[in-house]
Amino acid sequence: MKYKSQKVAYWFFALSMLLLSLQIIYGFIMGFAHMGYDNLHDFIPFNTARAVHTNLLVVWLLSGFMGAAYYIIPEEAENELVSVKWAYIQLISLAVVGVVAIVGYHFNYWEGRKFLEIPRPLDWLVVANVLLFLGLILFTLYKGKKRTTTSLVLTMGLVFAALLYLPGMIWFDNQTMDSFFRWWVVHLWVEGVWELIMGGILAFLLIKITGVDREVIEKWLYVIVGLTFISGILGTGHHYYYIGAPKYWLIIGGIFSALEPLAFLGMALFAVAMYRKGEKKHPNKIALMWTLGTAIVSFVGAGLLGLAHTLPQVNLWTHGTLVTAMHGHLAFWGAYGMIVFAAISYMMPNMTGRKLYDSGNGLTAFWLSNIGMIGMTTAFAAAGVAQVYMERIMGLEFGDVQNEIQVHFLILVLCATLFTTGVGIFIYEFIRYGQPTDEALEQHP
């Protein structure tokens, strides 16, 4: 760590890990409900568990991104964060908004718009929170000595993510219009600007870990985020096939979303190539594994499994089935969960001065969580494909099909237990690092 204010990142990571733990608990509630054990139905019905599960996902990832940005921006800009106090205020307000929203979901205080369940009055608090965050980041960059491509791409991702939240706050009477703009937020986040954030963090980690020249890494960063936007923006069309929008989206969405894996393939090849090219042998192997892991698993989960059902001829049958859950889990984990884990793994030793990365625990956490998640994805795939054939192609009743595929959710829950064990060990290691300290400051050159 080079600047004292980078320590702020720690508390964002801590919040992130806390919310992830809660997300997993609600995931288990849903897994058991799908198996037929909905004993909590009277207190936490499925729609509550579902809204909590997906919203906690968004908030823990955002908290992780914000933590990573608070660490990266001062180091890249070569300047202390403009205000540490306001960064803590922003952290607390983020936690408050998150908690109020999640508690509200247990009392029917929500808007049933997938991923955007936060009621509109609370949306304004989200906006205030994000503006404060962006203000701190932009002001630090403005006052800093350097504006690197890495910091600009990361900041651009964060600014666009904030702007794209706004279309989701407009009220429409027409369900089709509502859905159309909801995807401006959800799709353009996860298959657009969040990839800028991911790319920015990935570039920073690769520069630090592999020691490859910044100019080379940043050049390829531009190419990758360019591919992301060229395929991803018009790729939004794959959400417009069957919601009441015209047929030309079938062609445009089909072609451009078929190109989306290219950006992820680029990311994976880039990370591996930089690792091979690098002459520096950074001792933090765990951070390296998560960094390469995120690039590779995101290609499989977001790229390949997305491609598997993105063409309109296929999507006509799979749209709105568990096949979507298959793709969703490995995509979010690979692209966004793992990049947060990579950032934490790299930054914690630097902030605390403790080099615990040699322990076997770190490796165990990596392999268990990844094998568990791949198992979960496979269980969702089996359930989803069986559902498509029985319900959509053979015309059996939804409820009868669900009863037939319950067994896949037993496998899902077993694999989720492996995943949870891995994540649990990761969090145990996080706690073992303890709090950051100024003693961990590196000498300025």
Partner 1 sequence: MLSKSHARTFFLGGTILSFAVFLGLSWHTLSSEVPKQTNEAGLTPEVIRGKHLWESNNCMGCHTIFGEGAYYAPELTKVYERRGDAYIKAALMSPVPWSPRGRKMVAYALPESDANDLVAFFKWVNEVDLNGFPPKPKYKVSQNK
Residues 285-324 that bind partner 1 (CB under 8 A): 316-317, 319-322, 324
Residue with tokens 């930054």: 347
**Smallest distance from the beta carbon of 360 to partner 1, in angstroms?**
38
Draw the binding track, 51-90, toward partner 1 (x: CB under 8 A; -: no contact). x---------------------------------------
Q: What are the phi and psi torsion angles at 357 (to 5°)?
A: -75, 0
| DSSP calls for 371-400 | HHHHHHHHHHHHHHHHHIIIIIIS---HHH
Q: What amino acid is encoded at 323 in this protein?
A: V
Within residues 354-393, the interface with partner 1 by CB under 8 A covers 387, 392-393
Cα→Cα distances 122→16, 44, 135, 397, Å: 20, 22, 20, 39
User: Are 87 and 134 a contacting pair, CB within 8 Å?
Assistant: no
Q: Is 33 in the site for partner 1 (CB under 8 A)?
A: yes
User: Are 141 and 151 a contacting pair, CB within 8 Å?
Assistant: yes
Cα→Cα distances 79→68, 70, 143, 158, 165, Å: 16, 11, 7, 19, 29
Q: Is 265 in the site for partner 1 (CB under 8 A)?
A: no
Q: What amino acid is encoded at 274 in this protein?
A: M
Count of residues engaged in binding partner 1, rule: CB under 8 A = 75
Within residues 181-200, the interface with partner 1 by CB under 8 A covers none
Q: Which of 18, 22, 37, 38 binds partner 1 (CB under 8 A)?
A: 38
Q: Is 30 in the site for partner 1 (CB under 8 A)?
A: yes
Closer residue to partner 1 in complex, CB, 140/228? 228
Cα→Cα distances 411→35, 86, 113, Å: 10, 46, 29
Within residues 331-350, the interface with partner 1 by CB under 8 A covers none
Q: Which of 180, 189, 194, 430 binds partner 1 (CB under 8 A)?
A: 180
Q: What is the distance between the alpha carbons of residues 335 and 197, in angstroms, rounded to a whole number?
A: 10
Q: Which of 36, 99, 166, 435 binds partner 1 (CB under 8 A)?
A: 36
**Smallest distance from the beta carbon of 74 to partner 1, in angstroms?**
24
Within residues 158-177, the interface with partner 1 by CB under 8 A covers 173-177
Q: Is 325 in the site for partner 1 (CB under 8 A)?
A: yes
Q: Which of 6, 16, 23, 48 binds partner 1 (CB under 8 A)?
A: 48
**Smallest distance from the beta carbon of 316 to partner 1, in angstroms?**
5
Q: Which of 43, 108, 279, 445 binds partner 1 (CB under 8 A)?
A: 108
> What is the token pair recorded at 172?
């429409």
Q: Is 283 in the site for partner 1 (CB under 8 A)?
A: no
Q: What is the distance between the alpha carbons of residues 232 and 214, in angstroms, rounded to a whole number?
A: 26
Neighbours of 267 (CB within 10 A): 28
**Smallest distance from the beta carbon of 378 to partner 1, in angstroms?**
17
Closer residue to partner 1 in complex, CB, 400/442? 400
DSSP class of 116: -
Within residues 205-264, the interface with partner 1 by CB under 8 A covers 215, 218-220, 222-223, 225-227, 229-230, 233-234, 236, 240-250, 252
Closer residue to partner 1 in complex, CB, 74/266? 266
Contacts of 199 (CB under 8 A, 6+ apart): 153, 157, 221, 224, 225, 228, 267
Neighbours of 152 (CB within 10 A): 16
Where does this chain touch partner 1 (CB under 8 A) — which range of 46-54, 121-129, 260-268, 283-291? 46-54
Q: Which of 128, 403, 432, 442 binds partner 1 (CB under 8 A)?
A: 403
Q: Which of 45, 135, 211, 434 binds partner 1 (CB under 8 A)?
A: 45
User: Are 68 and 343 a contacting pair, CB within 8 Å?
Assistant: yes
